[in-house]
Structure 1
Amino acid sequence: MDKVKYRLNDPRLAPRRTKLEIPGWAGKREPRADGSREQVWHCVPFSEGAQYGIELFYPYDNEFHVTTKDSHLVMEGDWGPPPDGGVQWPPFRNFGDHFYTYQILLDLKVEKGMAIRTEPHPRFYTDPTDTVPIAVPALIRNWWPMMFFCVFKAPAEGRTHIFRPNEPFAQILVIPEEAPFDLERMDEEEAAERELQARRIYNSRPTLSAGTEWTSSTDTVFDGTYRHLHRAAKEKAREE
């Protein structure tokens, strides 16, 4: 098992594997049953994607607001005196009014050939208030010994990003440091094989989804076809 080792400037910043918060940012604990409201965790691809990385939590006791007013950033927070150690204080800075930075001071050491990539926390995609900070994607190689700051996109005019104590504000993925692939159109044989696979799944859907169909409160029909195939594929991978 590969490991990601970390070194902290502030122990309250300790990262953890991203978890679905139910109830919480991932939605309510509603069953897959007729009349239920769709929740993002009902979707296996989203659930797996959301839990694929490392989440970072806002470590300070004060709430911090970032607002765009008249095309300029306004930052509001009760920071108090700076801590010992000569760190940048407050730890947030305007970055051209279209972005802002947070001096995070976090070291994540990954295996050779791997890198870390920042991105918005999954709760950004489920937030109806438009207040979740938007971390800008950045790839950091493993030879760089400290993530000094994280960049965020500024909120739209009149909107406010809110950092709250102990709330996740960004996610980090561990990925290969290079992406050495080319895009290539499938040849006829490959395309035919994929089409045959798709048709087999479609024709088997009544069997694969038996007993799992449900209609949501917005009249959308769901079933467990993907979930069943997903479990079968994982079991096959374990056996191999």
Structure 2
Amino acid sequence: MHTVKYRLNDPRLAPRRTKLEIPGWAGSRDPRKDGSHEQVWHCVPFSEGAQYGIELFYPYDNELRVSTRDGTLRLEGDWGEPPAPGLQWPPFRNFGDSYYTYQLLLDLKLEKGLAIRTEPHPRFYTDRSDTVPIAVPALVRNWWPMLFFCVFKSPAEGCTHIFRPAEPFAQIIVIPEEANFELSPMNEEEAAERELQARRIYANRPNLAAGTEWTSTTDTVFDGTYRHLHRAAKDKARQD
């Protein structure tokens, strides 16, 4: 178990482990049964991936609308006077029109060997309105004492990204600071073992999926094979 400690410039920016919002950005509470519309939370890999990180919330009461018009980035919002002397206000800046920055002033202290990486909040992948801000991936080492700002991709011409009060706008994941791996093809024994595993799952799918099959509104057939194996693997890991 690793510990991530945080220090805030604004207490309203307090981070938390990312949670699925159902109903909300993760979809509605459609059960896994015939006639239901498929939701992203029905997919275990997506649900696990979406909840892997730390979500950051927009702390201000005034909405910010970011748009691109005639190739020029526009940052529009009623900001008023700075809340404190000397504070960059508003906390957003144009960054070459193709990008813009948000001054976070958030400090995350990690254990040795770990780093943080910014990325879009998972609701970006479920949004149909194209209004969710797009955080640009960036890796920040644990010796850096403050995440001063986060970079975002500017919206396409005619589109508007919106920062709303108390709404998550980005996600941070904790990863090893060095990508110490190399790509290598499997040898024949390893490849044969993986192929055998795949064939066993395929052959036993009727038993593994028993009682869990359902057809969605788009005539897509789902079953609980992965969920059952996932649960069994987690139980085995706890016992080991």
TM-score calculated relative to the size of structure 1: 0.99
Deviations, residues 159-182 of structure 1 (Å, cap 9, x unaligned): 000000000000000000001111
2: distance between equivalents of 1:225 and 1:111? 37
1:163 maps to 2:163: yes
Alignment partner of 2:205: what SS?
A: helix
2: distance between equivalents of 1:72 and 1:187? 53
1: distance between equivalents of 2:127 and 2:226? 26
2: distance between equivalents of 1:9 and 1:137? 22
Residue of structure 1 equivalent to 2:227: 227
Deviations, residues 68-102 of structure 1 (Å, cap 9, x unaligned): 00111011000000111412100000000000000
Residue of structure 2 equivalent to 1:31: 31
- The amino acid across from 1:54 in the alignment is I
Deviations, residues 17-71 of structure 1 (Å, cap 9, x unaligned): 0000000000000000001000000000000000000000000000000000011
The root-mean-square deviation of aligned C-alpha atoms, in Å, is: 0.5
Counterparts of 1:163-182 in structure 2 under 5 Å?
163-182=163-182
- The amino acid across from 2:66 in the alignment is V
Identity across the alignment (%): 82
Q: Number of paired residues?
A: 240
Structure 2, unmatched stretches of 5+, are: none
Counterparts of 1:82-161 in structure 2 under 5 Å?
82-161=82-161
2: distance between equivalents of 1:33 and 1:68? 42
2: distance between equivalents of 1:192 and 1:75? 56
Q: Which moved more, 1:227-236 or 1:83-92?
A: 83-92
Deviations, residues 113-170 of structure 1 (Å, cap 9, x unaligned): 0000000000000000000000000000000000000000000000000000000000
2: distance between equivalents of 1:151 and 1:26? 24
- The amino acid across from 2:126 in the alignment is T
- The amino acid across from 2:137 in the alignment is P
- The amino acid across from 1:39 in the alignment is Q
- The amino acid across from 2:134 in the alignment is I
TM-score calculated relative to the size of structure 2: 0.99
Alignment partner of 1:148: what SS?
A: strand
| Runs of 4+ off more than 4 Å | none
2: distance between equivalents of 1:78 and 1:16? 27
